[in-house]
Chains A and B, each alone.
Chain A
Amino acid sequence: MYELIAGTLASYLLGDSVTQFSTIIGAYLSAMGIGSWLSRYVKRNLVGVFVQVEILVGILGGASAALLFLVFEQVTSFRVILYADVLAVGILVGIEIPLLLRILKDRFEFSDLVSRVFTFDYAGALFASLLFPLLLVPHLGLIQTGFLFGMLNVLVAIWLLFSVPDVIPGAHWQRGMALAALLGLLAGFIHAEDITGTAEAATYPGKVIHAQSTPYQRIVLTRAGADLRLYLNGNLQFSSLDEYRYHEALVHPALASLAQPRRVLIIGGGDGLALREIWKYPSVDQVVLVDLDPVMTRLFSSNNLLTQLNGNALRSPRLSVVNQDAFAWVRQAAGRLAPFDAIVIDLPDPSNYSIGKLYSLSFYKALGGLTHADTRIVVQSTSPLVARKSYWCVHDTLAAAGFQVTPYHAYVPAFGEWGYLLAGQKPWTPPARYPEGLRYVSVAETPRMLHFPADMDYVAAGVQRLDNQLLVRYFDEEWGAYAAAW
């Protein structure tokens, strides 16, 4: 369990979940090996040592998530502390099992015993690894989960101290120690929110006003003055100061080019901000929003600050929210639902192979099944300046799917120069007018959005297919180089 906590925490804080996870688990397992080797030097007082190890595991393991969270911003060598913690807990847990085996040896047939302990261990690990992503992390969060398991370890020690005090020298004072540890962990459990708050406040600029883990991501909202920011897994999604630029540019060139848009599909965009722009068209009478994470759509339709920002966009009888995987949904819906007049694709950047599927030729072809001759599609498609090949790869992929494609871009201070692509069965014509009250997009601004200076102009980039994932490779290369340079 503790290794799961450390692995998850490290991937939240350091990014790159796959590598973090496996190196941490690897370290933990080798530490357990060391622990079980060390355990043979325990010659006497087995139960007493076992109790002490349990208490130590409880304290160290239980508090480690909180500890790591707190020190993340304060120290330069976070990894050293992370691995020291993982090793310490691993060694202690490694001592535990052989000790338990030896203690129980006198009570059971040995072979029966080994299988019992390992069945327990196996079942326990199975149980924990099931419980962890499904129940504990979403409901308790990492820090509380840590404290909870710490308390369980200490409770085992307390139970032993009270049921077999005769075989434990100094059982009396150890009871006191164990109870104190239990109380400490309980306090941590109760105040976990504050700890996360303090820790995240240090990680993010501004004050953390909401933080939540879902099976899909960690959602963090921060505020600094009037600036409200959303981070998913540590990546900035918007800043309330300039998100209007991003969302106006995303929605209006497509929607305003249509005479009477009625049915609109949004893929991604669970924050309701693109939706807010769509409601500026009174002709729209039906919107379907497909977003994987129900927590996102729930949060953005209930939290006051957020509903203020999206103008309660998610609370409309004209809206149906579908919390499903977009690819599967589109394939199912194509041909069964009536085509949409506009399709707005506001997905995360193609930073891994899973999301890459939603930028593939196959996906755009499937999407074609939800269009009619005049449907206008718009795709947010990363920065043509930083990730030029990536941007034009999305362009080439849409073109290969048989669409007429129009590239444009907008400057969003929080993100930099940002790219979009319009697609449809017919070429797009710039709108003659836009809805009233826009702050950025206008008829005069449109030609500037359509102009591509030499440093982000077309490069032939090829097509993102499921069987080559070209885009994800470009994206990794280009943003990797950018991150290295800065």
Chain B
Amino acid sequence: MLVIGGGVSGLAAGLRLHDAGRDFLLAEMEDQVGGHSRSGTNAITAFPWGAHYVPLPSEESTEVRRLFERLGIITGYEKGLPIYDDYALCADPDERLLMYGQWQEGLLPKLGVSKAEQAEHQRFFAQMETFRNLRGQDGRRAFCIPIDASSADPALRALDRISFAAWLEDQDYGGEHLLWLLDYSCRDDYGAGLAQVSAWAGIHYFAARNGRAANTDRETVLTWPQGNGWLVERLAAPFAGQIRTRALAVGVQDGPRPLTNLYLPEEDTVLLVESRAVILAVPRFVAARIVHSPAARPDAGDFHYSPWLVANISLDRLPAGPGAELAWDNVAYGQSMLGYVVATHQHLAMNPRQTVITAYWPLDHLPPAAARAEALARNGETWKTLIAQEILRMHPELAGAIRRIDLRLWGHAMVRPVPGFIWGKARQQALQDHPPLFFAHSDMAGISIFEEAYTYGIRAADAAIRHGPHPT
């Protein structure tokens, strides 16, 4: 079998094929697996290049929980609740927000927030709590991870047809601070603000996560210095020998034994691979270009992607600032760049002298194609200057302490859950397998998160295994 793509979904599929004892090859175009969850490292620390955390797996995330048990992230159970590895839980303080030149703990604005607005915040979070426990007429939870486990109740799915902004207005939410927080949350998870994403997706962010733990609060997340790169390393390790990096799939010809053209830049040759089945763990817009099949005609016309810029900034001093102390995630109120996470936060050493911070910037000020064009037109130096300016705006005291800045532009970083997408036709079509072609990618969920990528990878591998007899 052939797996195309070494992101989380491809690695999940590979791991499942490996466990089943199948003969397979995983082809990844980059020189390193991980996709949007890959990580890097320098003399100071390892750091993420994209995905940097996973929330506590929800009730429905059974595959992910099984993986976490296998990797020792879940060390046991107490009264039915998972016990998590202390070192993987994000150390306190986890979040802080810069407002009016003062850092405050947590991301919910507190400084200068009126009584009326505070009441509004409470009303919003109470409503989300109701959604968290809400079940549709079919008895399933309204909002789930994985998304396909969610209720099919039409009344709930109707929420997917309007924008989050419209729903909020309809529900009479209008406070500046709440809207900022919600817009921030949507940009953080979807790379697009609350006017761009559907109400269903917006509520999902707050209502789907119901994972609990024996040894920490529900809000605590799992993270490592290299972010989800930690998971990537462990997913790939058992079958490292079956991974071929710098191998770009340029065409997949459907048939009883599909034929795949792999371009190998090293040798400047095209390798023709014949396999029993192909798992396409690539973004939908890539699948649409490389698959040649009369039956499965992947179409990416309705898939919209947010571009992101990620910068890793090596510092000779820890960031400081008045008010709350340095946290893992540090966000500035009202700033276009989202903020940064600190790679050394999970280190145990008492006094790191140097650190790497990872700054995240969803480029949503223009429509995606225009934003991509603008981002590409800027050279590295211009980007570095922009990043340095944003960081120094948050931290004037870091003047002179920026040792270097490394950049990564993700052109199609995340699929956007625009209104109508999650429960619309395009996604339903993408979910269909066309044996011997199987599809796996977080795009198919309409939201890009680890749990979705992993679950689709497992699902595709299981289907591929069922499809063909064991070649003995």
Contacts and interface: CB of A to CB of B under 8 A. Distances in A.
Nearest to A134: B353
Question: How big is chain A's contact interface, by range?
Answer: 35 or more
Interface in A1-42: 7, 18-19, 21-23, 25-26, 29
Interface of A: 7, 18-19, 21-23, 25-26, 29, 122, 125-126, 128-130, 133, 215-216, 292, 325-328, 331, 352-355, 357-358, 360-362, 365, 465-469
A336 B86 CA distance: 21
A358 B91 CA distance: 13
Query: Most chain-B Cβ atoms within 10 A of its Cβ — which of A22, A26, A361, A468?
Result: A22
A40 B86 CA distance: 58
A107 B240 CA distance: 59
Interface of B: 86-87, 89-94, 215-217, 220, 316-317, 320-322, 325-326, 348-351, 353, 395-397, 399-403
Given A18-B321, A25-B397, A327 B86 contact: no
Contacts of B353: 133, 215
A469 B324 CA distance: 14
Contacts of A355: 350
Contacts of A327: 348-350
A469 B93 contact: yes
Contacts of B217: 467-468
A21 B320 contact: yes
B349 A129 contact: no
Contacts of B401: 126, 129
Nearest to A127: B400
A67 B329 CA distance: 39
Given A467-B220, A468-B92, A216 B349 contact: no
B322 A19 contact: yes
Contacts of B351: 216, 292, 325, 354
Given A125-B399, A353-B325, A465 B216 contact: yes
B325 A29 contact: no
B317 A129 contact: yes
Nearest to A29: B396
Given A18-B320, A215-B353, A328-B349, A466 B87 contact: yes
A332 to B, nearest CB: 11
Contacts of A216: 351
Given A327-B348, A466-B91, A23 B396 contact: no
A23 B322 contact: yes
Nearest to A26: B396
Query: Which 10 residue pairs spanning A and B have beta carbons closest together?
Result: A125-B400, A25-B397, A327-B348, A469-B92, A362-B86, A467-B89, A354-B350, A325-B349, A18-B320, A22-B397
Contacts of A7: 397
A129 B317 CA distance: 9
A126 B317 CA distance: 11
Contacts of B220: 467
Contacts of B349: 325, 327-328
Given A292-B350, A328-B349, A354-B351, A467 B86 contact: yes
Contacts of B396: 22, 25-26, 29
Contacts of A19: 320, 322
